[in-house]
Amino acid sequence: MAALVQPNKEVIQHFEQNAPFRNVKLETIDLVTSSVAELAEVFGHYDTVICCSGFSIGQGMQVKITEAVLEGAVRRYVPWQFGADYDQIGRGSAQPVFDEQLDVRDLLRAQDKTQWVIVSTGMITSFLFREDFGVVSLENKTVHALGAWDHSLTLTCCEDIGKLTIQVLFHQPEIVNEVVFVSGETATFAQIAEQVEEVFDTTFECVLWSREHLSSALKQDPDNVFKRYRMVFTHPGVKWPMEQTFNYQQQIPTIGIVEWAKKNILS
């Protein structure tokens, strides 16, 4: 087992001094500055590659990494698709980076040498509580609903994403060339507001941001990444029933909003 890390002394020392990673081989290469061929040479040494580098790494990087995986003839690949149902959302959404996710899917589906598994997780639970995202503001004691109070979000925390991805990879029979849906919890904005008030034992102001309001706000500030996310998360492709998820069908327990908030915010 290996981890690909930036060729940075501090990063390398962090891994080497952290007991759980002492038996993990480190591949030091820069994803951004290295060529597809250079990345392919590294990836080609491994049976399975899991991409844990998200949108922040830069535009075009998800396609570049995928091209390197395919060129390296990796047997199995889990791309960075830990998010929405991009097939359902389609191209031209409020969040342009989602189009690149569809480019990755097109590359994978157009070939038959590298097997792939996509793990769709919905929104990462911690994102719900970001002040700059604005859905749950602990500072202002406010919950904003995106689109409608009966609109739902699927939420999965990082710990469960890691756990469930491994469960998917080691499932027998092997899951091949499929989109697998997982969920820590799927809840309406009304239910989210109720749970937030329960956890923090106080009343929150509940404000609806309609699609019209969000669309107008985005037009006035089209480069604002959080306004893009607010708009795109009004789409039906950001939610799926718990009963249809891999973890529900395999009876794997996951962490919901209340449990996550108690552990990560209150403790």
* Structure confidence by residue, pLDDT tens digits, 131-190: 999 999 999 999 999 999 999 999 999 999 999 999 999 999 999 999 999 999 999 999
Taking the alpha carbons at both ends of the chain, their separation in whole angstroms is: 33
Length of the chain counted residue by residue: 267
* Structure confidence by residue, pLDDT tens digits, 45-83: 999 999 999 998 999 999 999 999 999 999 999 999 999
Whether pLDDT at 120 is above 90: yes
The partner residues of 5 in beta bridges, in order of sequence, read: 28
Among 89, 234, 217, 227, residue whose Cα is nearest residue 148: 234
Range of the domain at 99: 31-266
59 — phi, psi (to 5°)? -65, 135
Which CATH number characterizes residue 195's domain? 3.40.50.720
- Provide the number of structural domains found in the chain: 1
Q: Mean pLDDT check: name the lowest of 17-21, 177-181, 252-256.
A: 17-21
Domain membership flag for residue 240: yes
Domain membership flag for residue 138: yes
Domain membership flag for residue 199: yes
Domain membership flag for residue 47: yes
C-alpha torsion 60→61→62→66, nearest 10: 110
Which pLDDT score, from 0 to 100, does residue 22 have? Answer: 82
